[in-house]
Structure 1
Amino acid sequence: MTDANIETIGGREMRCAGDGCGMEDDGAVRGHLPTGYGTVGSAASPRGTAAAPRPSRLRAAPLAALLMASTAAVPLLVASTTQLRAAGPIVFDIPTGDLGGVLAQIGRVGAQPISFPADLTRGRRAGPIAGRMGVQEALTLALGGTDLVVVPAAGGTLTVQRRGPVPTGAAAPAAAGDIAAIDVVDANAGSPYGDRGFQAGNVGDTIRIADAPLKETPVAISVVTNETIRSQNVTNTLEAARNSAGVIVTPGATGQPRFIIRGFETSGFSVNGQQNPVTLQQQIPIDAVDRIEVLKGPTAILTGVNVAGGGLINVTLKKPTAETIRDLTIRYGTYNYKTIALDLGGGVPDLEGTTYRFVTSLNHADRTDLGYRDPSEFLVMPSVRWEGQDLTVSAGLRYIQTRAVPQARFGFRALDPETGIGAIYRIPGNGPGNPNSHYDGRELTFETEQNYHAGTLFGLFDVSFNNLFQHQSVRFVGDSFSFFNTNFGFTQSGVQTGFDTQVENISERLSMTLKYQDDFMKSTTKFGFDYLSYWSGARSALPAFLPDFDLYNNTPISPLISGPYDFTVRKSSNIYRGGYMVEKLDLFDNKLHILGMARWDWFNQNSQSLQFGVAETPSVSKNDALSYTFGALLDLPYDLGVYINRSEGRIPQAPVAGISLAPIGRTLNEFGLRSSMFDNRFRTTLSFFELTESPLTLILQGQAGFPEGIRIVNTAGLQSRGIELEGQGEILPGWNLTANVTRLWTRSLDPDGLGLDPSAGRPAYQGSLWTTYTWLSGWAEGITVGAGVRALTEFKVNQLGANSLFTLPGYAVFDAAIGYTSGDFSANLKINNLFDSHAFSLSTISTYLPIERGRHVLLQASYRF
């Protein structure tokens, strides 16, 4: 398609030819005009009405700054199911930008149609616009210091014009029939976090100020946006975290993924910022996921309960939206893997201010690549939100039913009994196991949130209160295998274990937020109290057999667990309480950003085991801990920023053999640079960090010669140092990229070298890259191609019981994809592990050497109706 006309709107180019136009905005706003007209695609806009033709679904980014057809005015038509909301105060948080873009965002947030001639905004800047105010007040701030004013026009539209008489037709609103619209749906349209394509907007749920812009936050947070996840055809939620620097995701022997973040092993993950202290096998179906957030370093200060590792992976789920969503998705892939998913959302008719979201999916396969039968996953996730003048209430349910299998593809290393030389065996086929083995899991979670705007305090602070309550009930029943490598050759002993685990969590998070702004600074202060109570009960049994597996044929097949067996029962009850304060200051015309946090937590932990009818003495632990963080980020010229931070976190330890253990500390020192390139469409972060573990106490049981067989060992912790570089966003119109590379050093601080070598399972270099290109015009318009690679260098593995290390080679895994979008239909074919690389994935101990999954294919098709 050739350009017939080019005009700059708000400092950007608009290209028109034939029946279509495209415009580039902050963060790559592009689109095409359909032949009809309707509503502008935005976070608050429905996708047309029955009276008007539905616009085609075309590629564009989420910021709607919009086009003119034959008139000189540029109307910003932002429809909403809550138009009356524009008359009252609204919370604005719009950064400094060109005047046209700022006006566009005011119109979208305030659900107010605004019209202005393009030449009035060209070359002008405005902002920041932050605080609770009306649309008129926000426009007055944006136009302050200019010769422009806002006047009412026909149909409720506000028109921006110069002071004094207006020449005939200069700023007259265009007729509705002359206004075309862009349906912005393909690049995170309507994202509540301001994500644009591959580039993330706000920090999200990883810290307590969720709407803080990521580029202004002096802590290391990586975000995998919804557009990135969709382009990669990801089906495993947690594997999407591989797009973040310093993050290793590898399969564990039990089926639960293992994470190593900045050199430290991490257990568990959080959902919507709610930390689950129990590591479960349940995962979140990918169709429920909006984005993945990775917080680097200590997390206790931010989430209340730290996890044992160098950071936290948070899964953010889809939420109610005013945008009308009607998406049907199907998938088909290797091993007859098939999915059908439905995503519905929008405003509720005749209920002012009410929006909803309903997501459901079902997937099933004939078997997995391990040989296990009938894995399946079922999701139902309804949610609703009501927004009044000062009160917002939301509620949602999440039900997940799973029949899953351990994702354990592995080899092992054994020693020749005569030579003592170790040999590594890659297990032929898909690995040993029972093709009937599985576990059944069910999760039911209820969550409700209330937010109340209390008004102004002392005429200075804008005050609001928030409460978030969650109740979660989970149960898993099934069996698993454990393997040993004590024998040499192709025979390996294993044991089958049955288990029945139940978990119940209750959490309450109360907070008060005070916002203040004047000509010198903007301040956000938050006080909060967290309460988390969880109970777990686990019952497990060892059958009276030790089957030998022929690794060539994966035989014999052992029966599933069936009673009667002697069960081991373990129960635990834990309560976490914590109070905190967060302060974010933006100074010097929004150039200096300071973040400070402090919290105090109280931990009460109780556990008890019952084995062979004999009850263990209950273990009780009570302790408390102080956590804090401080960081600052300074915006420099040429779209460059520099930041520093220091964080101190605490990890509560469960009592062992009745002995109470103090929390383990994590201290992070970090320095970094952030930059924006390509007209702020592509963002990079360079980080230098040092993460240190405090001294810890190890309780070793069954030690001969020690009182009651218990040996207490005090040892120094670990330390990791590293350099991370990551970038995400759009390089050229249609060309998106996310990439990262990490250089890591890990060492033990213990001079006696107690424990396993901390460098095991941690390669010196690792990185990943994923890029897509979409043709926006011409004969290939609508076609997208994608390619990616994950690579790492060689790594060490501990030889358990031998105090020695051996090395496994590095490797690279390549992926490729091709897709097509036309109107409301899109399709994507993804080939993972394109060259069928058979490599050992990362592991720390030789008893379990996971293998990368071989080549597999997935076709995904979506239709918006």
Structure 2
Amino acid sequence: MNILTIYPHLDGSSRDAIWSAPRTVLGSAVAAAVLISAQGACAAEPAQIQTRAGGASQEEIALPAITVTGRKDKAITEGTGSYTTAQTAAATHLPLSLRETPQAVTVITRQRMDDQQLNSVQGVLENTTGVASYQSDSERTSFYSRGFLINNVQYDGIPTVVGNIVNGSGIGSVDTAFYDRVEVVRGGSGLLTGTGNPAAAINLVRKRPTREFSAAAALGAGSWDTHRGMADISTPLSEDGSIRARMVGTYQDGHSYIDGYKPKRKSIYGIIEADLTPDTTLSLGYDDQDITPKGATWGGLPLWFSDGTQAQYARSENYAQHWSHWNNTLKTAFAGIEHRFGNGWKLRAVANQYRTQYDAELLGLIGRPDRATGLGSFPYGAYPVALAAEGRSRQTTFDMMASGSFELLGRQHDLVVGATSSRRTASQDDIAPFYAGVAPVNVHDLSPAFPRPNFDAMASIPTRTRIKQSGVYGAARFSLAEPLKLIVGGRFSNYDIDDAAGGTSLNYKKNGKFTPYAGLIYDIDKTYSAYASYTGIFNPQTDFRDIKGNVLTPSNGKTREIGLKGAYLDERLNASVALFSTQLDNAAQMVAGTTTPAGAQAYLGADGTRSRGIELDLQGELARDWNLYAGIAYFKAQDGDGVRLNSQIPRTTAQLFTTWQLPGEWSKVSLGGGVKWQSRFYQAPNTGTSSLGGEQGSYALVSLMGQYAITKKTSLAVNFNNLLDKKYALQKGDFDTVSYGAPRNVMVTLNYRY
């Protein structure tokens, strides 16, 4: 509980001095007017303030106090204007500063999302240190960190399977308007998530209601007739604010740089919080996201001609038809209760149900057409390939956690313990990819158009899956000495899956799997700390089968990491450098040209997969009104045979974005800009899904933004992306096709805040 005592009769300049001062103790007479007590004690007596008149006489003034009580969450970024946060629990469920967390952590704040117009999770992750994206087509984007696929997603710290994330769809299109921040913890996350790859964990932290009325709205228009609207209202439902609610809604549609492709999404989020007692808070919420694009693409266009040369296309070219679509609906209902005990301990229980539904009908092109005619004759030429699929899933999760401090051997330590249980059911019906036509398509003009196949008359392959997970976890932070802290913990997990697909079935069960966590932090001084950590994780591989059709046993990963962190300007600027080494055994590895008895791609479990690298991260405020985010990441990864791991993603990535509010008479103007750079990536010939391969060289994308404050409540912002109009491939070589990224584009947004 924080208590703030304010003396309203101070003149304006004195109040400005108070609020603009650094967040440390103010060493002046004015500082006596503000008292913040983290202990929840009573407010101070009215201060005695000495003022000078004409530099000679003194006058003593006694001012009455106004006391406001309330809880303050240090992790919240909304309204701070900051590019960093004072606290995060994303790594261990212990509330720690970034400098106290023994893992590489990046936090994308509300302010940065607004400044850069990062309106989707894909936009956020593509601007996050150490995360690389691989976009197969308009709807499927996979995200990688340290060479491994990211398959750990959390909402408010609760693990959730989002869409069909293994195949890359689901999370990228999720709208970010609902979230206060996005936290990315790199390395193993088995302590909290139980299962997954040693890549990273993404935590989407929702906005919460405020005790005072507030409202925000945004209207945007941009390239290709893109339109976006957002409304956000938070209001107390009782006079004292003990019951409060918030609702956020978005709508976005328009055309695209890709011919015939029309992305569209709408979403709504609502939450109610009620203080049942001064120490107990109940929350209920629901969100719904509908992603309904028209003309959705499936893969790219044929990359290779029959003579072995590469084809070149305009970025807008597309063979997806008007009937092509890939619709996704994501719905979440959640409830939570939190009780705060008088001794500082906290008990939290959360129930969460997450539902998805999708429906897809798609058409793509594969083959090697004739260079001169664009056609060719069998086996050469580009032929249409189609598929259809529909499915739904439901995941119900319960989590209970207790956290607080205790004393031992004369020192204060921290502890968190919890238990999680989840059950996920999923069903899908797929019409496997098939050649939709026998006549080749002319790739020079992408003709003729192709009518919708009669999917309704085709037999589908049903798949039914049930996954049950449970686990208990705990972590303790021991103060070994004044500058030395040790975090140790672990998780015992149980995993049970039943899967039936195409007439075959399997059951896999694993009980009592232990996942360790350890971190050591040494405070060099008040600015710098050094750390070392060890994290583990395991990943059931039920999506991958060997040449006999058997499911692969789980992979096991472990990450060793050392680093140096710094917190500057009263923690308004955070910096870190991390060195890591990751090993993954029994990792699923595609066996090129080999299928299972059911005709699916065959895999084998390979030991000795390793990744090593370095990451540098800088986030926060360099000076007053000057925000900065910068990051560089490099890794080197190979499998047990020494073959480059996931060569389709770049080894080095770098991001820079900064904004500056001009001083003095120009203070209504804010300017910003940034650059994203990545090294080359390629598909090697005769590996994975590529026969001839393909390579994209390194490239950089430049962005600019400007904002003008029309009034204190209204502002106009302009964002330019890919300012230099760089042409680059999103993927090159996957199924011997290519697809391109967006050309230069602009978005103009009118913002209102009350």
Q: TM-score, normalised by structure 1?
A: 0.75
Shift of 1:225: 0.6
**Preserved contact between residue 433 and residue 557 of structure 1 (Cα < 8 Å):** no
Decide whether the 8 Å contact of 1:831 with 1:858 is kept in 2: yes
1:320 to 197, 209, 220: 209
Hey, what's the Cα distance between the residues in 1 that align with 2:23 and 2:352?
38
Which residue in the other structure is 1:577 paired with? 470
Which range moved further: 715-724 or 267-276?
Answer: 267-276
Aligned counterpart, 1:12: none
Does 2:580 correspond to 1:689? yes
Alpha carbons 2:7, 2:33 under 8 Å: kept? no
Between the two proteins, what is the percent identity of the paired residues? 15
Letter in 1 for 2:655: S
* 1:223 counterpart (80, 103, 107): 107
- Per the TM alignment, residue 487 of structure 1 is displaced from its structure 2 partner at its CA by 4.7
Provide the C-alpha distance between the structure 2 equivalents of 1:856 and 1:707, rounded to a whole number of angstroms.
45
**Preserved contact between residue 584 and residue 609 of structure 2 (Cα < 8 Å):** yes
The separation in 1 between residues aligned to 2:238 and 2:390, in whole angstroms, is 45
Aligned to 1:642: 530
Distance 2:367 2:435 in 1: 20
**Is 2:386 aligned against 1:496?**
yes
Shift of 1:267: 3.7
1:403 aligns with 2:287: no
Q: What residue identity is the alignment partner of 2:686? A: L
Report the equivalent of 1:796. Answer: 682
**CA distance, structure 1, for counterparts of residue 291 and residue 215 of structure 2:** 25
Q: Is 1:197 equivalent to 2:82 in the alignment? A: yes
Q: 1:160 to 1:249 in 2, by over 3 A?
A: farther
Cross-structure match for 1:597: 489
Deviation at 1:373, TM superposition (A): 5.1
Task: Find the aligned partners of 2:612 and 2:541 in 1 and give their Cα distance.
Answer: 25
SS at match of 2:111: helix
For residue 467 of structure 2, give the secondary structure of its aligned residue in structure 1: strand
Give the structure 1 partner of residue 229 of structure 2. Answer: 340
| Counterpart position of 1:674 | 565
Secondary structure (helix, strand or coil) at the match of 2:703 reads: strand
Which residue identity lines up with residue 69 of structure 1 in the other structure? D
Contact 1:526 1:581 in 2 (8 A): yes
- 1:234-273 equivalences under 5 Å are 234-253=118-137, 255-267=139-151, 269-273=153-157
SS of 2:420 mapped into structure 1: strand
> What does residue range 12-161 of structure 1 map to in structure 2 within 5 Å?
68-69=10-11, 98-100=24-26, 117-118=29-30, 133-136=39-42, 150-151=44-45, 153=46, 159=47
Alignment partner, residue 48 of structure 1: none
Offset, 1:586: 4.3
- Does the residue aligned with 1:837 lie in a helix, a strand or coil? coil
Q: Which residue of 1 aligns with 2:250?
A: 361
- Distance in 2 between the 1:427 and 1:477 partners? 29
How many residue pairs get aligned? The number is: 716
Aligned to 1:145: none
**Which amino acid letter does the alignment assign opposite residue 477 of structure 1?**
D
Match of 2:316 in 1: 429
Q: Deviations over 1:719-768 (max 9, x none)?
A: 111111110111122221101112221222236x5xxx415124343201
- Tell me if the contact between 1:469 and 1:508 (Cα under 8 Å) persists in the aligned partners: yes
2:729 maps to 1:840:
yes
> What's 1:481 paired with?
363
CA distance in 2, matches of 1:671, 1:67: 52
Please state how far the C-alpha of 1:607 moved relative to its aligned partner: 1.1
Q: 1:851 to 1:857 in 2, by over 3 A?
A: same
Q: Could you say which residue in structure 2 is the equivalent of 1:56? A: none
Task: Specify whether residues 505 and 633 from structure 1 end up closer, same or farther in structure 2 by C-alpha distance, changes over 3 A only.
Answer: same
Secondary structure at the counterpart of residue 112 of structure 2: helix
Q: Which residue of 1 aligns with 2:338?
A: 451
Match of 2:630 among 725, 734, 739: 739
C-alpha spacing 1:413/1:354, structure 2 compared with 1 (3 Å): same
Q: Secondary structure at the match of 2:676?
A: strand
- Which residue in 1 is equivalent to 2:348? 466
Cα distance in 1 for residues equivalent to 2:75 and 2:185: 24
Partner-residue secondary structure (3-state), 1:654? strand
In the alignment, the residues of structure 2 paired with residue 250 and residue 703 of structure 1 have an alpha-carbon distance, to the nearest angstrom, of: 24
1:590-629 residue pairs with structure 2 within 5 A? Answer: 591-610=483-502, 616-624=503-511, 625-629=513-517
Are residue 750 (structure 1) and residue 629 (structure 2) matched?
no
| Amino acid aligned to 2:670 | T
Q: Do 1:68 and 1:74's aligned partners in 2 also have CA atoms closer than 8 Å?
A: no
2:707, 2:717 within 8 Å by CA — same for their partners in 1? yes
- Equivalent residue for 1:233? 117
Moved more, 368-377 or 310-319: 368-377
Distance 2:249 2:598 in 1: 56
Local SS of the residue matching 1:566: coil
Query: 1-side partners of 2:408 and 2:212: how far apart?
Result: 33
1:646-671 alpha-carbon deviations (Å, 9 max, x no partner):
11111122174763533211111111
Aligned: 1:512 with 2:402? yes
Number of the residue aligned with 1:810: 698
* Aligned position for 1:827: 716
CA RMSD of aligned residues (A): 3.9
Q: Please give the secondary structure, in 1, of the residue aligned with 2:87.
A: coil
Cα distance between partner residues in 2 of 1:609 and 1:769 = 46
Tell me the distance in 1 between the aligned counterparts of 2:526 and 2:401: 38
Contact 2:259 2:316 in 1 (8 A): no
Question: What TM-score comes out, normalization by structure 2 length?
Answer: 0.85
Q: Which amino acid is the alignment partner of residue 494 of structure 2?
A: W
SS of the residue corresponding to residue 335 of structure 1 reads helix
CA distance in 2, matches of 1:704, 1:409: 21
Match of 2:417 among 527, 533, 548: 527
Give the superposition deviation at 1:382: 0.9
Q: Deviations over 1:692-721 (max 9, x none)?
A: 111346697996999999988452242111
CA pair 416-504 structure 1, distance change in 2 beyond 3 A: same
Please tell me whether residue 565 in structure 1 is matched to residue 458 in structure 2: yes
Q: Helix, strand or coil: the match of 1:841? A: strand
Distance 1:651 1:482 in 2: 32
Q: Which has the higher contact order (CA 8 A, sep 6+)?
A: 2
- Give yes or no for contact 1:702–1:709 (8 Å, CA) kept in 2: no
Q: CA 1:647–1:842 in 2, change beyond 3 Å: closer, same or farther? A: farther
Cα 1:608–1:345, aligned 2, differ >3 Å: closer, same or farther?
A: same
Q: Distance in 2 between matches of 1:65 and 1:554?
A: 72
Secondary structure, aligned partner of 1:198: coil
CA distance, structure 2, for counterparts of residue 638 and residue 454 of structure 1? 31
**Structure 1, unpaired ranges of 5+:** 1-41, 46-63, 78-95, 102-115, 140-149, 154-158, 177-187, 457-461, 611-615
Amino acid in the other structure paired with 1:217: T
Q: Which secondary structure state, in structure 2, belongs to the residue aligned with residue 770 of structure 1?
A: strand
Instruction: Report the alpha carbon displacement of residue 375 of structure 1 after superposing the two structures with TM.
Output: 3.1
Conserved? CA contact 1:696–1:714, under 8 Å: yes
Aligned AA (1:506): T
Change (3 A) 1:700 1:623: farther
Cα distance in structure 2, aligned partners of 1:826 and 1:803: 52
Given that 1:466 and 1:511 are in contact with CA atoms closer than 8 Å, whether structure 2 keeps it comes out as: yes
- Counterparts of 1:716 and 1:226, CA distance in 2: 41
Distance 2:227 2:101 in 1: 40
Of residues 442, 465, 483 in structure 2, which corresponds to 1:550?
442
Matched position secondary structure for 1:834 = coil
Distance 2:727 2:229 in 1: 31
Structure with higher strand content? 2
Q: Would the aligned equivalents of 2:588 and 2:606 in 1 still touch at CA under 8 Å?
A: yes
**How far 1:320 sits from its partner (Å)?**
1.7
Maintained 8 Å contact 1:517/1:523:
yes
Q: Determine the structure 2 residue equivalent to 1:378.
A: 266
